[in-house]
Amino acid sequence: MKSKTIYHNLFASFSNFAFLLFTGIFLLPYYFEYISINDYGIWLGGISFISLLTVLEANISLILTQQLGEKWTQKKTLEFSKYFSASIVFSIIVSLIIVLFTFFLKDYLTSWVSSNNGYNDIFSKSFFLYSISLSFTIVSSYLGAIPQVFIKTLVPPFFNIISSIIGISYTIYAVPSQGVLAIASGSLIKASIYTFFLSFYVLKLLIERNISFCFKITYLIKLIKSIGLPFVSKVGITLASNAQNFIVAAYITASATTIFDVTRKLPLMLQTVINMIAVSTFTAFTLLYSEEKDNSKNKKYLDYYFSVIRIILITSLVGAFLLGKDFITIWVGRENYGGDILFALLCLTALTDQIRMMISQQYYALGKFKLTSITDSIFAMSFIILAFSLIPIYKLNGIPLAGILSAIIYIILCFYFERKNKFNLISHLINKRLVYDISVAILVLILTKFIFDTYINSITIRIIITFSVISLMFLKFYLSERILFHLIYSIFIKKKK
């Protein structure tokens, strides 16, 4: 049952990723035919600021899945109903706050992220529509806990696919006449349709299990009181992840925001794919920790899980770095490429940040909310301080440098807190195998990049060499991780039979 949830969640994640891939990669050259690089940078900077308002979500969606899963396995149906009802009311309140806050700020936001310091009605409307779509996304993330807990996770991805197709179709149709307003409208259409479908599906699941909506103000108050540290954590992580484009737009230029976003798009997309695998296992690990008391069995699953992510993460980033410049040149033009140093730092940031997110997700699955909140908050504070310290010196390179250094600080803190609390999770990921694999990858990258820049001008040959390097990396992993590969192969054969 847990494995079924993982497969369905992967399907859901990839359906959502398809929307991001289409709008963020395939459609970007199309956008640039009707939207200037500067205007697109203003749009990115503005929505980056609005996304900071998701701090009000306070990580309740993750906590909700863990708590509801625990209550359902313990057959506490009434508690389940009261907790879920309170969370839905809370999500609606948060959504209204986000929409109202943006409504009053939308006319000023353009001047904050633009050197022109002027009011623009198109941007104001776009930012407001984006805030509404963000609100729908928050509500749907809370509703999504129900299919996760009941392991009815196959249907929601189809809702996502349908809503994405409708949203993308509108954006393509409207961009020539509406510019960035069409992007905001497409996002709103997608989010609202998905929330509408999901709401009816969740209602159906609740009725089938005789769970009624049972709102008690005391549970809402209890929920709000319980989000102290998670809220602080959410504030920090949201600032660290969503404020980057806003920082570039406000402290460098709007056009630099476009260059930064384009340059980091490939490693960011790869990280998104890998994180989808990680997030898809969240419910399975939550149920495993709730039901399984055999720590040795849990450790075995952790080792296999972290090894798979490590292999995929390192090999994909190796390929991304080797072909990154060529990809961006073909995609939107070399003038939008931020340089090899920035790209290398962004790839390394994707690696360290994915490691941090996997550790944080496991802490949530274990129910260690206090530990997660403290470590995430320190990570975020470190990033903000380092970013503002390094940007004046290193410009765009300062942001990924801040991300790498703050991730290292996070990992050191996790080692300390785990030792103090007498449990061991992080060593399953941060170990000699990881250090060795990263060292090998860096050596391979330096040698191959030198050959590319010195001797090879043909993109076809560079692609062939890159795929050869990736194949050799996989061969290296196979020789060192044979047990894991044999296990994956045996699982695949069983599924096929």
- The per-residue pLDDT for range 325-346, each reduced to its tens digit, is 999 999 988 888 999 999 999 9
Choose the most confident range, by mean pLDDT, from 46-50, 150-154, 171-175, 433-437: 171-175
pLDDT at 1: 45
Q: What is the pLDDT of residue 323?
A: 92
pLDDT for 496 equals 45
Mean pLDDT in residue range 209-218: 79
Considering the domain architecture, whether residues 17 and 96 belong to the same structural domain is answered as yes
Of 37-41, 302-306, 393-397, the least confident: 302-306
Structure tokens at 196: 């509408």
Q: How confident is the model at residue 322 (pLDDT cuts 50, 70, 90)?
A: very high
Same domain membership, residue 240 and residue 388 = no
Q: Identify whether residues 54 and 144 lie together within a single domain.
A: yes
Q: Are residues 244 and 295 in the same domain?
A: no
Instruction: Write out pLDDT tens, residues 226-255.
Output: 666 666 666 667 777 767 777 787 777 778
423: left (phi over 0), alpha (psi -120 to 50) or beta: beta
Q: How many structural domains comprise the chain?
A: 2
Confidence of residue 486 (pLDDT cuts 50, 70, 90): low
Is the model's pLDDT at 448 over the cut of 90? yes
d(CA 480, CA 476): 6
Q: Return the HEC string of the chain.
A: CHHHHHHHHHHHHHHHHHHHHHHHHHCHHHHHHHCCHHHHHHHHHHHHHHHHHHHHHCCHHHHHHHHHHHHHHCCCHHHHHHHHHHHHHHHHHHHHHHHHHHHHHHHHHHHHCCCCCCCCHHHHHHHHHHHHHHHHHHHHHHHCHHHHHCCCCCCHHHHHHHHHHHHHHHHHHHHHHHCHHHHHHHHHHHHHHHHHHHHHHHHHHHHHCCCCCCCCHHHHHHHHHHCHHHHHHHHHHHHHHHCHHHHHHHHCCHHHHHHHHHHHHHHHHHHHHHHHHHHHCHHHHHHHHHHCCCHHHHHHHHHHHHHHHHHHHHHHHHHHHHHHHHHHHHHCCHHHCCCHHHHHHHHHHHHHHHHHHHHHHHHHHHCCHHHHHHHHHHHHHHHHHHHHHHHHHHHHHHHHHHHHHHHHHHHHHHHHHHHHHCCCCHHHCCCHHHHHHHHHHHHHHHHHHHHHHHHCCCHHHHHHHHHHHHHHHHHHHHHHCHHHHHHHHHHHHHHHC
Residues 317 and 186 in one domain: no
Is pLDDT above 70 for 290? no
The residue written with tokens 């390097």 in the block is 469
Both 109 and 127 in one domain: the answer is yes
* Res 176 pLDDT > 90: yes
Cα 278 from Cα 35, distance rounded (Å): 35
Which structural domain range is residue 219 located in?
1-251
Per-residue pLDDT, 130:
93
Let me know the angle formed at the C-alpha of 297 by 292 and 300, rounded to the nearest 5 degrees: 135
The verdict on 322 and 430 lying in the same domain is: yes
Kindly state the tokens that stand for 91: 């999500």
Q: Which of 19-23, 63-67, 242-246 has the lowest mean pLDDT?
A: 63-67
- Give Dmax over CA atoms of the chain in angstroms: 70
Rg, the chain, Cα only: 23
Checking if the pLDDT of 10 tops 80, the result is no
Domain boundary among 251, 284, 312: 251
Q: Give the separation between CA 268 and CA 289, rounded to whole angstroms.
A: 30
Q: What are phi and psi of 364, to 5 degrees?
A: -65, -40
CB 198 within 8 A of CB 58: no
Residue 246 and residue 280 in one domain: no
Cβ atoms of 45 and 254 closer than 8 Å: yes
Higher pLDDT, 357 or 234: 357
Q: pLDDT over 70 for what percent of the chain?
A: 82
Last residue of a domain, one of 251, 275, 306: 251
What tens digit of pLDDT does each residue of 82-109 get? 888 888 888 888 899 999 989 988 878 8
Same domain, 269 and 237: no
Q: In the predicted model, what is the mean pLDDT of the chain?
A: 82
Q: What's at 27, amino acid-wise?
A: L
Q: Give yes or no for residue 27 having a pLDDT over 80.
A: yes
Of 229, 251, 273, the one marking the end of a domain is 251
- Residue 309 pLDDT level (bands cut at 50, 70, 90): confident
Specify whether 436 is located in the same domain as 455. Answer: yes
Q: What is the tens place of the pLDDT at every residue in 398-445?
A: 999 999 999 999 999 988 888 887 777 888 788 888 899 999 999 999
pLDDT of residue 442: 92
Angle at 481 between CA 477 and CA 485, to 5 degrees: 95
Q: Give the number of other CB atoms < 10 A from CB of residue 31.
A: 23
Looking at residue 4, its pLDDT comes to: 58
**Listed ranges 98-107, 170-179, 249-258, 471-480; the one with the highest mean pLDDT:** 170-179
**What integer pLDDT is reported at residue 116 of this predicted model?**
61
Q: Say if pTM beats, i.e. exceeds, 0.95.
A: no
Q: How confident is the model at residue 497 (pLDDT cuts 50, 70, 90)?
A: very low
> Could you report the per-residue pLDDT of 101-140, keeping only the tens digit for each?
899 888 788 777 766 655 578 888 999 999 999 999 889 8
Task: Tell me which of 306 and 65 has the higher pLDDT.
Answer: 306
pLDDT at 493: 47
Does 35 lie in the same domain as 69?
A: yes
- Average pLDDT of span 354-369: 81
Q: Are residues 312 and 378 in the same domain?
A: yes
Of residues 50 and 239, more confidently modeled: 50
